Structure 1
Amino acid sequence: MISYTGLDQQKQNMIDWTEILHKIGVDVPLGAEQFNIECPFHTDDKPSLAINTEKGVWICFAGCGQGSLKSFIRKRMGWSARKIIDFLVENSEGYDPAKMFEIDTPAPLGLPALEEKVFPYKQYVVPKWIFDRGFDKFTLNRWGCGITPSNGLVIPAHDKDAKLVGWIIRREFGIPKYVYAKGFKKSHILFGQPLVDTSNAVCITEGALDAMWLNQLGYQAVALLGMQMSKVQEDLIVGLPSKEIILCLDNDNAGKKGRDYILTRLRGRVNISYLKLPNQYKDVQEVKKYDILKETINNRRSW
């Protein structure tokens, strides 16, 4: 079966994204691989749009979106995926159009190639109940959250290259509380990885909201989207640009089992530590006071 699975890193580097962006009317600096410019999707008086032409990704820190530069073209021009491919082929000198398609081609470094999705919900409008949990508008916009027709919170999920590969729905009521997009391979990503910068420490949580909460309070964080760490996630964690990994899993038996497994798997591969939450908190999202959270993180236990 022949299908378009997206450009791998090698193919990304064969496209002159600077020229491509100029051709769709976006003024970007010449010769730079990573830069910030004014975002064309909102009235802007500061460079809130970050673009990396080497990786072929973008993110607007004001909340307009993020993803691959193909998704940027789609958002700016309103083109179909087929038209975007044709445009890239036409404007990539010496590039073989047949190479835009792959037959079950593995992703680089043995990681699984994930299909890029189109977000089907209204974005940057969220249900009011989520504010009762302490989240602010900036955080919800930064993570690209949206709303379902049934008043659920929708959280986009991106792979390491900021490609949209699924989403998470958090229901206000109902069981299960969390519903994942059909076909979403959540064990193949670290939720929040595209937002991680080089840092002294990155926190690892179970749930998406836990990672978002830590991020709101000033900590770099990603989520496993479960208490189990897959082999793919293990390799992604090892590759994070951080001096230390801090495990912040749930304060229950399942979370402790997951913590012990991860500590065993990552021992010797990374500098790793873990939190011991006070008994009254089941996860880091329940720690609403910054001073308590800071003290808990400062008192983390090394492995």
Structure 2
Amino acid sequence: MDRALLKKQSTDNAVEEIKNRLDIIETVSEHIVLKKSGRNYWGLCPFHKEKTPSFSVNAEKGIYKCFGCGEGGDSISFLMKVNNTSFWETMVMLAQKFNIELPEAGVTSESSEYKKQILEINKYAAEFYKKMLLENKEAKNYLLKRGINETIIEEFSLGFAPVSADELIKKYDKDILQKIGLLSFKNRIIIPIQDEKGNFIAFGARAMADSQGPKYLNSPESPVFNKSRSLFGLYQAKDSIKELDSVILMEGYFDVISAHSHGLANVVATLGTALTEQHIRIVARYSESRRIYLAFDSDEAGVNATNRGAEIIKSAFSGLGEIRHFDENFADSTVKQDRTACEIRVITTNTGKDPDEFLREHGAEAYKELINSAPLLIDYQINRIINLNEKISSPQDKAKLGKEVIPLLSEIRNSIIRNEYIKLVAGRLSIDEESLNIEVRKNLQKVTYPQANKNGLLFKNQEEKYVLAQKNLLSLYFLNNEKFAPLCINNYIKEVELSDTHLNLIKKHIDEIIDEFNDSDKLFKELLNKLAENEEAKKVLTDLIYRVEDKKDLNFELLEQYLTDHILYLKTYQVSERQKQLRASYYADNNDDTSSELHQQKVKELISERRL
């Protein structure tokens, strides 16, 4: 076989494999937070600014559509748009990610070798460090004194880096070892960092001696390690997060390790960086209710981290519903059933100790009591503001304190819950409840909660309505109805004229393949392949899939009526447009009797055709 043809076939197979590896929910969730509602998932569109979600993802079909800006497509389309890359640039990136050869794009096994090499070196280093720990009594005792037993050492693959790295240097290139930071670790406890799949992507290193500085060293970022997208302990915690439907976010390596050693397994930590929206999106995949506990240190830096973390979480979930502002123990059944975007609680020790110290001194049961009694974010924030100013008495001080609390109260959309908090705050500050209520209402006037328009049915003129009718007709090919299979639909509309370029292209492909793919799902998948590099046509195809959803419950008679009504409308519109054109020509030729008579005759014929 011709070498060029072989190369093309190999590339086509690689593209198909890449598409099969992609999951639309995982792909989109790396960039926005999604919340399931009905059959689909919803989130804030990353392609235009909005406050309420109009971005829909269909997991079954592997597509997305924004009802706000009109963007739509499959996983490839999404990555192209969000990364501002071409089709082939996107395929190259994915081929490298999945270690798939893509010959026509110049991606071979060699081009992704560096990532594989880093992971291989890190795996070997983790095993080497663990072996060194078992042979070093001082290092092992250091961990045992911190309550870390051999089971936890094994679970987290903890290790020890000796002063000499000769064994690593003998096996691997020194420059690569230097680049990924392994030559910096000397006489330190090693804490491997794993991704969600368990790959060793980086290391943290804790000094053994107090004279060593800094106390912690971390691997630099690399092609396999990004601090903003990585969470320590997630590989060990993900199953427990799912089971308990909650996650506890801590600050340090040993906070997490100590929690796990005390039987608290749904715990993760950031890696020497502030909490990011990417971190929140990652943990949101594992907790359906998005119950997030912030368990940072109790010092001033920890308090600031808690407040920053809370704002990041609220930003990540903005538009998906309000943050929970009530405790279920005190809510009636209707409020309990009201799904919120997420629930943020704050765990504080009130002893000034970090979670690791508290657990070692007071034990797991005492910490579980803190978890069970952890206040909601709003309660924590209000209590902290008031408790720091317990001795206030002057009207000026009360007004100043009220200004700090009012924005928190204004975040509560449920008026019943908001009024209860106003009553509570007014009582604790010894101020008039109605006065506080007035100030909150003033602040609320600055806050708007617009509703998302998800129907996508508004159009500016008759021409848009005409194109919409064409889309509605073509959408029926994807009805997945036994009585209205694609071939049956084709018999109805094969003679219908289409004005839209992309709809014509889709219809042309349908005509070419319909005999082979008389199944809606298979037809759609094959069309996606045909239109792989045509983003505008894919966007239209995605629109057709979303348009057919509300027709799936119609019976045969109603579907047939729907078909005939739309076909009649299209024909009527086309005749009407031709009449307008002929009238315009008639008036343009009013000095030419012969042309005018000819145009009059054509108009009469069209009118007769319209009546038929």
TM-score interval (norm. to shorter)? 0.5 to 0.7
1:262 shift after superposition: 1.5
Q: Confirm or deny: 8 A CA contact 1:229 1:262 kept in the other structure.
A: yes
1:103 shift after superposition: 7.9
Aligned to 1:302: 376
Q: Confirm or deny: 8 A CA contact 1:199 1:242 kept in the other structure.
A: no
Q: Does 1:292 find its partner at 2:298?
A: no
1:227 shift after superposition: 6.0
Q: Confirm or deny: 8 A CA contact 2:206 2:217 kept in the other structure.
A: yes
Q: Does 1:159 find its partner at 2:162?
A: no
TM-score norm. by structure 2 comes to 0.31
* Mapping of residues 117-196 of structure 1, within 5 Å: 118-119=121-122, 120=125, 122-125=128-131, 126=133, 127-128=139-140, 129-150=142-163, 151-173=187-209, 174-183=212-221, 185-195=226-236, 196=238
Residues matched between the structures, number: 210
Aligned to 1:236: 282
Q: Confirm or deny: 8 A CA contact 1:227 1:249 kept in the other structure.
A: no
CA distance in 2, matches of 1:266, 1:160: 21
Q: 1:218 aligns with which of 249, 254, 263?
A: 263
Unmatched 5+ stretches in structure 2: 1-13, 22-97, 113-117, 134-138, 164-186, 315-322, 324-340, 378-612
Q: 2:249 aligns with which of 204, 209, 213?
A: 204
Q: Does 1:270 find its partner at 2:355?
A: no
1:175 shift after superposition: 2.2
Q: SS of the counterpart of 1:273? A: strand
1 or 2, which has the higher helix percentage? 2
CA distance in 1, matches of 2:188, 2:220: 16
Q: 1:258 to 1:171 in 2, by over 3 A?
A: same
Task: For residues 143-170 of structure 1, give each alpha carbon's deviation from its aligned partner in whole angstroms, at most 9, with x where no partner exists.
Answer: 1111110442111112233232210001
Task: For residues 190-238 of structure 1, give each alpha carbon's deviation from its aligned partner in whole angstroms, at most 9, with x where no partner exists.
Answer: 1111221112222111111111111122221111123611232132232
1:242 shift after superposition: 5.3
CA distance in 2, matches of 1:161, 1:152: 26
1:11 shift after superposition: 4.2
Aligned to 2:307: 260
Task: For residues 264-299 of structure 1, give each alpha carbon's deviation from its aligned partner in whole angstroms, at most 9, with x where no partner exists.
Answer: 222334222110113242334442112221222222
1:101 shift after superposition: 5.5
Q: 1:143 to 1:100 in 2, by over 3 A?
A: farther
Aligned to 2:317: none
Q: Confirm or deny: 8 A CA contact 2:227 2:273 kept in the other structure.
A: no
Q: 1:245 to 1:117 in 2, by over 3 A?
A: farther
Q: 1:154 to 1:297 in 2, by over 3 A?
A: same
CA distance in 2, matches of 1:229, 1:192: 15
1:179 shift after superposition: 0.3
CA distance in 1, matches of 2:120, 2:18: 19
Aligned to 1:67: none
Aligned to 1:112: none
Q: Confirm or deny: 8 A CA contact 1:276 1:301 kept in the other structure.
A: no
Aligned to 1:50: none
TM-score norm. by structure 1 comes to 0.60
CA distance in 1, matches of 2:193, 2:20: 24
Q: 1:298 to 1:182 in 2, by over 3 A?
A: same
Q: Confirm or deny: 8 A CA contact 2:192 2:200 kept in the other structure.
A: yes
Task: For residues 64-111 of structure 1, give each alpha carbon's deviation from its aligned partner in whole angstroms, at most 9, with x where no partner exists.
Answer: xxxxxxxxxxxxxxxxxxxxxxxx99xx9xx7465555989xxxxxxx
Instruction: Name the aligned partner's letter for residue 130 of structure 2.
Output: Y
1:254 shift after superposition: 1.2
Instruction: Name the aligned partner's letter for residue 229 of structure 1.
Output: L
Q: SS of the counterpart of 1:170? A: strand
Q: 1:133 to 1:242 in 2, by over 3 A?
A: farther
CA distance in 2, matches of 1:143, 1:227: 21
CA distance in 1, matches of 2:109, 2:307: 42
Runs of 4+ aligned residues of structure 1 deviating over 4 Å after TM superposition are: 10-14, 95-104
Q: 1:218 to 1:283 in 2, by over 3 A?
A: closer
1 or 2, which has the higher strand percentage? 1
The alignment yields a C-alpha RMSD, in angstroms, of 3.2
Q: SS of the counterpart of 2:247? A: strand
Aligned to 1:59: none
Instruction: Name the aligned partner's letter for residue 298 of structure 2.
Output: N
Aligned to 2:548: none
Q: Confirm or deny: 8 A CA contact 2:233 2:269 kept in the other structure.
A: yes
Q: 1:11 to 1:124 in 2, by over 3 A?
A: farther
